[in-house]
């Protein structure tokens, strides 16, 4: 796929107009270009019926990539799972179409916007490919290899902690979730220095359940369908970091990926077990299928121990969020009004949809029934599951730490192919995370 700008029409290629009404409605605008990318396999010339800013042009190019993307089954046939990074451009198929924006006087800013849009679309495609890979091609060690190769390519640091290091550190929560697996758990920490070394890093924490069977609270066949996607939070964080580093954003960043498998085995976590998290707080296990909050708990604590005062976590966490908001809107929880205001402004620019849900004392109280631990990981028989999970996580947020929790179960996956996007992982939230950090005033965080 090739995207460019020109002032000269090509009489041999189709011209498609984007109307003034669509350009002025950002939601329709992204949908228009996604449909175009998906339907026009040979490409076309695009005539904008009203002026569009460089940001809008970037958004259009990114949306074209969203629509054109499909996962390459042909490449998978020859794939060595240890070479996913090297083959990632082959695994993401965008076709051979050429798209040209017809502009009266193409400028350097518009040319840059096209390049930026292509970079956004491509990095989201990488995240989608990681999500789409079958679990037997993408185990924890394969995700580690990908992260190491990416860090080397970006010239940033990458540290990986396995079972022994996690045990010595005290990450009892992450280790507990992985107990049933013959593979080791992993915490991947990537650090980027884009600013003064004394500036606290912004932390991005991603849930990376490489597969989630539910543990001894085994999922049904319908519930287990698609559980290879339970690592989309980690994939999204990794590719948001790649975009930010390639943009040379002037902020210090730490990405923390929590990788585990929630499967059944002789040592798997059981109902009634009590675990000790990295924070020192204890948790009684009521539901082994409420595991995502457990791995995130250790990641949030680790981020704060390493001086992060602003944390964004990304997770396919609860089906309660999907039940409340559907497949197009991400559930958002935030403990700071100024940060939430900036997030909302960023989301307006990226056209991604979020809905703020409450962090409430009543949810905390529903987790405080254990006689053996500080609290439980689940509130049996209660509604408001997304809020309860978020409040479980809030127990690990120190006073003064600014925090955004994104529960993206619904929009993380396109469950049925649409006229905008192929079936599979969606790359949701990456654009807004990048926009949020790139435009964040240092006086806010």
219 part of the active site: yes
Q: What is the DSSP letter of 17?
A: E
pLDDT of residue 150: 98
Q: Which helix (H) or strand (E) holds 70?
A: strand 70-71
Query: What is the C-alpha to C-alpha distance for residues 287 and 113, in angstroms, rounded to an integer?
Result: 47
pLDDT tens, the chain, 445 aa long: 999 999 889 988 999 999 999 998 888 999 999 999 999 999 999 999 998 899 999 999 999 999 999 999 999 999 999 999 999 999 999 999 999 999 988 789 999 999 999 999 999 999 999 999 999 999 999 999 999 999 999 999 999 999 999 999 999 999 999 999 999 999 999 999 999 878 999 999 999 999 999 999 999 999 999 999 999 999 999 999 999 999 999 999 999 999 999 999 999 999 999 999 999 999 999 999 999 999 999 999 999 999 999 999 999 999 999 999 999 999 999 999 999 999 999 999 999 999 999 999 999 999 999 999 999 999 998 899 999 999 999 999 999 999 999 999 999 999 999 999 999 999 999 999 999 999 999 888 8
C-alpha 170/C-alpha 180 separation (Å) is 19
Return the structure tokens found at 14: 């189709």
Q: Which two tokens stand for residue 272?
A: 């009634």
Which DSSP symbol is given to 30? H
pLDDT the model gives residue 25: 87
Give the start-end residues of each E strand in 213-307: 252-262, 274-276, 282-284
| From 38, 88, 128, 293, active-site residue | 293
Q: How many CB atoms lie under 10 A from the CB of residue 44?
A: 18
pLDDT at 431: 98
Residue 141: the pLDDT is: 98
* Rounded-to-integer distance, Cα 172 and Cα 205, Å: 17
Task: Give residue 27's pLDDT.
Answer: 83
pLDDT at 363: 97
Question: For residue 269, what pLDDT is reported?
Answer: 98
Quote the pLDDT of residue 127: 98
- Pairing status of strand 252-262 against strand 202-212: parallel
**What three-state secondary structure class fits 280?**
coil
pTM above 0.85, yes or no: yes
Tokens of 176: 């507990």
Q: Which of 35, 219, 415, 423 is catalytic?
A: 219
Sole residue written with tokens 């090297």: 86
Q: What is the rounded distance in angstroms from the CA atom of residue 68 to the CA atom of residue 36?
A: 8
8 is catalytic: no
């Amino acid at each position: 796929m090739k995207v460019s700008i020109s002032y000269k029409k090509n009489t041999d290629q189709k011209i498609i107009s984007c109307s003034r009404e669509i350009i002025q409605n950002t939601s329709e605008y992204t949908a228009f270009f996604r449909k175009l990318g998906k339907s026009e396999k040979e490409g076309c010339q695009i005539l904008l019926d009203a002026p569009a800013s460089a940001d809008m042009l970037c958004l259009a190019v990114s949306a074209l990539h969203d629509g054109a993307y499909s996962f390459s089954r042909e490449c998978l046939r020859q794939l060595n799972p240890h070479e996913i990074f090297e083959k990632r451009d082959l695994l993401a198929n965008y076709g051979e179409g050429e798209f040209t924006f017809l502009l009266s006087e193409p400028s350097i800013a518009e040319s840059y916007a096209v390049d930026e849009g292509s970079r956004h679309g491509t990095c989201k495609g990488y995240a989608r490919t990681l999500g789409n890979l079958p679990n037997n091609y993408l185990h924890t060690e394969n995700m580690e290899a990908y992260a190491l190769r990416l860090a080397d390519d970006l010239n940033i640091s990458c540290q990986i902690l396995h079972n022994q290091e996690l045990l010595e550190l005290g990450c009892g929560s992450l280790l507990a979730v992985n107990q049933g697996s013959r593979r080791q758990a992993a915490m991947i920490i990537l650090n980027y220095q884009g600013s003064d070394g004394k500036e606290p890093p912004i932390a991005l924490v991603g849930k990376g359940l490489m597969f989630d069977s539910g543990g001894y609270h085994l999922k049904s066949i319908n519930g287990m369908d698609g559980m290879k996607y339970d690592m989309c939070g980690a994939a999204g964080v990794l590719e948001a970091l790649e975009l930010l580093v390639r943009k040379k954003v002037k902020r210090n960043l730490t990405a923390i990926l929590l990788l585990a498998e929630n499967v059944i085995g002789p040592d798997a976590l059981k109902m009634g077990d009590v675990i000790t998290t990295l924070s020192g707080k204890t948790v009684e296990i009521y539901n082994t299928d409420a595991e995502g909050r457990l791995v995130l708990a250790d990641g949030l604590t680790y981020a704060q121990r390493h001086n992060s005062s602003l944390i964004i976590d990304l997770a396919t966490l609860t089906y309660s969020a999907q039940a409340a908001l559907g497949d197009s809107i991400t559930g958002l929880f935030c403990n700071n009004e100024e940060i939430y205001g900036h997030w909302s402004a960023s989301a307006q620019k990226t056209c991604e949809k979020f809905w703020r849900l409450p962090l409430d004392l009543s949810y905390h109280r529903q987790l405080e029934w254990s006689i053996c631990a500080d609290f439980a990981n689940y509130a049996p028989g209660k509604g408001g599951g997304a809020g309860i999970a978020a409040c479980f996580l809030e127990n690990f947020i120190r006073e003064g730490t600014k925090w955004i929790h994104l529960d993206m179960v619904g929009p993380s996956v396109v469950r049925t192919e649409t006229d905008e996007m192929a079936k599979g992982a969606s790359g949701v939230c990456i654009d807004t995370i990048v926009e949020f950090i790139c435009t964040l005033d240092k006086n806010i965080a």
